[in-house]
Amino acid sequence: MAKVKTKFFCTECGYEAPKWYGKCPGCQSWNSMVEETEKVVKTQGMNSSLFTTKEKPLPIIEIDSGKEPRVQTGIKELNRVLGGGIVPGSLVLVGGDPGIGKSTLLLQTSHEMTQAGLKVLYISGEESIRQTKLRAERLGALSPELYVLCESNMELIEEAIESIQPDFLVIDSIQTVYQPEVTSAPGSVSQVRECTARFMRIAKGKGIATVLVGHVTKEGAIAGPRLLEHMVDCVLYFEGERHQTYRLLRAVKNRFGSTNEIGIFEMSETGLVEVANPSELFLSERPLGVAGSTVVASMEGTRPVLVELQALVSATHFPSPRRMSTGVDHQRMSLIIAVLEKRMGMFLQNQDAYLNVAGGVKLDEPAVDLAIAVSIASSFRDAPTRPFDVVFGEIGLTGEVRAVSRAEQRVKEAEKLGFKRVILPEKSLKGWKRPGGIEIIGVNTVAEALAVALD
């Protein structure tokens, strides 16, 4: 008879303990231990011999370092985030808020891959096959090489994989799949860990590119143990505001490419549509000749994106002024306000300051510092900036403007969209040829930048 044991698992790191701890001994996080009951069953190891390899250790200099083959998904924005396509045998985890479009993206991707002659198996644990068929009809994703299965039993899923032998596998979602040998409920730490380990062996052993859909918590992290993110090869987050039509696909882990790339999509009635030029999207509703509005050239991976920064500075009626920011780091905003007060003599201690990145984009690179300073100063002085100016640069604590990377790409993107003038650090002008269709002004201090931008 199987023995029933009670264990405690950490949802952050997967640490296993026989009793409850308020603070996890593994990752030192508080209130992360959850209780689970599991039945210990003696098994003969993994019941599938196809995952067993008999390879011998090799010296590293004798290992073939050939380039990993990639399969094009048919969606350029997804290929960009993955690093040029999906690698056969890789395990990819996709997370995002409910209703953000994860299933829509993967169903469209499955259809595109069948058009390239690949066989796809789409396993849904949350929708029936009829619901999936209705969604596929709406998206125009019907193909004879796209197989759909509504199942959550891990053993039956393995049988379907062995029967169909797909080239691309989608599991929607990993929290609904359960292993019968593990007695805890689907979605628990034990089930998610064991099922992910089985899918990892399938992907590596049979060379099947596998995508797992993961639910997220209210904090935005993927539900389950953080060990789940360590096991997979690539972690993608699908982001976006529910009241906005565009979506951002961002990589936070990628063993086969960069983690700085983003893919931008727009949600329509027929599914997700790729946005080839995101700068036009973010600047489409920009007002002209308004104080506090500045356009910044930010880099998302290798792609330059022009985004509007809006600042509002108004007198406060409270002893402590408010500092609120959306889309940029709040601490960075406070630092720049301190620089403006100390180096530029702006008295902002009795002023509320609000900063917003139009469109809901998140900017986390230092190159947006100068645009933040110009926006705040413009609103404080009620002096509009020129409508066709682009500003970027990093600000130091002494008021200097420091050089930033990829200045040439930022300037070319501004020129392509019809902007007339770019204000950038003087030290970023070295090493590249200036285009002739746009005026470029180099500055060394914040005072010089404000004198030019607010003339």
Partners of residue 298 on adjacent β-strands: 305
Q: Crossing angle of helices 129-139/102-115, nearest 10°? A: 70
**3-state DSSP call for residue 165?**
coil
Please give the Cα distance from 382 to 288 (Å, whole number): 14
Which amino acid is present at 419?
F
**Is 164 marked as a binding-site residue?**
no
**Is 100 marked as a binding-site residue?**
yes
| Neighbouring residues of 340: CB distance < 8 A, sequence distance ≥ 6 | 346, 348, 373, 376, 377, 446
**Is 301 marked as a binding-site residue?**
no
Q: In what order do the strands lie in the sheet with 33-40?
A: 16-17, 3-10, 33-40
**Is 96 marked as a binding-site residue?**
yes
Residue 86 region by backbone torsions, left for phi larger than 0, else alpha for psi between -120 and 50, else beta:
beta
Within a 10 A sphere around the Cβ of 166, how many other Cβ atoms?
24
The answer to whether the beta carbons of residues 80 and 38 sit under 8 Å apart is no
Q: Crossing angle of helices 189-206/154-164, nearest 10°? A: 10
The answer to whether the beta carbons of residues 226 and 14 sit under 8 Å apart is yes
Residue 291 region by backbone torsions, left for phi larger than 0, else alpha for psi between -120 and 50, else beta:
beta
**Is 98 marked as a binding-site residue?**
yes
Q: Which tokens sit at 197?
A: 């380990």
**Is 97 marked as a binding-site residue?**
yes
Mark the binding-site residues for ATP, compressed into ranges.
96-103
Mark the binding-site residues, compressed into ranges.
96-103
